[in-house]
């Protein structure tokens, strides 16, 4: 009997189309190229905050996972502060209202797959932005730096929890559907007001037209791209 396909691979395949579409997102493209205006970068962080904060609230209200709470919105707050945003401005940012509350651990892990996978490419974006934001403490890039030295251990723990449902047809189905739904909501949320990323008034703005070898969005792989969510997500 053939061993079951890794659940992570199944989720990667199920979300591949949405993931590929995110490659054309001008904000992620400019950040991954290391050339983005201050106003465009602030808008990117604001949209990311609106999704991540809402996602964390939905996870907290739903079924718990063996991993415990995970979240990165606090680092987006730090980055927005570094860019000069006032506390009142951050508090007033709109939040995504379409994120489903998970009813099982499998659903929660499927949803988390989208955001946890994006940490793999976030470090690449942080590296690309280091020339324009060279602060040793990562100010302005804290979100994309992710878990830092703990990244490997955090990712392995997540994969282990996710793969515990690989042989559970119902759990695998729930995880897959949750991953697809979360990626769809992320795509819709990040797709609003794309014209704000086209501000060329700042000296740092120069959208890259080249194909990137690294994927800044997630752990998803595409045949035309070398391994890198998000994923910037």
- Which helix H or strand E contains 145, and what residues bound it? helix 142-145
Residue 2 lies in a domain: no
Number of domains in the chain: 1
- Residuewise pLDDT in 10s, the chain (233 residues): 445 579 999 999 999 999 888 878 999 999 999 999 999 999 999 999 999 999 999 999 999 999 999 999 999 999 999 999 999 999 999 999 989 999 999 999 999 999 999 888 899 999 999 988 888 888 999 999 999 999 999 999 999 999 999 999 999 999 999 999 999 999 999 999 888 887 645 444 333 333 333 444 445 433 222 222 445 57
Query: Cβ(62)–Cβ(21) under 8 Å?
Result: no
Residue 228 lies in a domain: no
Give this prediction's pTM: 0.84
Query: Containing domain of residue 19, as a range?
Result: 8-198
CATH number at residue 41: 1.20.910.10
How far is it, in rounded angstroms, from Cα 83 to Cα 51? 19
**pLDDT at position 230, please?**
43
Residues 6+ apart with CB under 8 A from 135: 82, 141
**pLDDT at position 199, please?**
62
Residues 6+ apart with CB under 8 A from 88: none
Residue 17 lies in a domain: yes
């Amino acid at each position: 009997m053939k061993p079951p396909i890794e659940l992570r691979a199944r989720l990667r395949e199920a979300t591949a189309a949405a993931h590929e579409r995110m490659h054309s997102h001008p904000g992620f493209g400019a950040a991954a190229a290391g050339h983005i205006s201050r106003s465009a970068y602030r808008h990117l962080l604001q949209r990311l905050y609106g999704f991540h904060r809402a996602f964390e609230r939905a996870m907290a209200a739903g079924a718990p996972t063996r991993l415990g709470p995970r979240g990165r919105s606090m680092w987006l707050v730090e980055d927005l502060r570094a860019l000069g945003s006032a506390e009142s401005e951050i508090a007033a940012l709109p939040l995504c209202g379409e994120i489903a509350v998970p009813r099982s651990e499998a659903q929660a892990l499927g949803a988390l797959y989208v955001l946890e996978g994006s940490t793999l490419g976030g470090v690449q974006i942080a590296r690309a932005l280091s020339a324009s934001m060279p602060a040793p403490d990562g100010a302005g890039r804290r979100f994309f730096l992710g878990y830092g030295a703990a990244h490997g251990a955090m990712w392995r723990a997540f994969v282990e929890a996710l793969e515990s449902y690989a042989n559970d047809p119902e759990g695998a189905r729930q995880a897959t559907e949750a991953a697809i739904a979360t990626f769809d909501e992320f795509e819709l949320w990040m797709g609003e007001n794309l014209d704000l990323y086209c501000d060329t008034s700042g000296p740092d703005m120069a959208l890259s037209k080249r194909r990137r070898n690294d994927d800044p969005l997630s752990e998803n792989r595409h045949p035309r791209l070398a391994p890198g969510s998000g994923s910037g997500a």
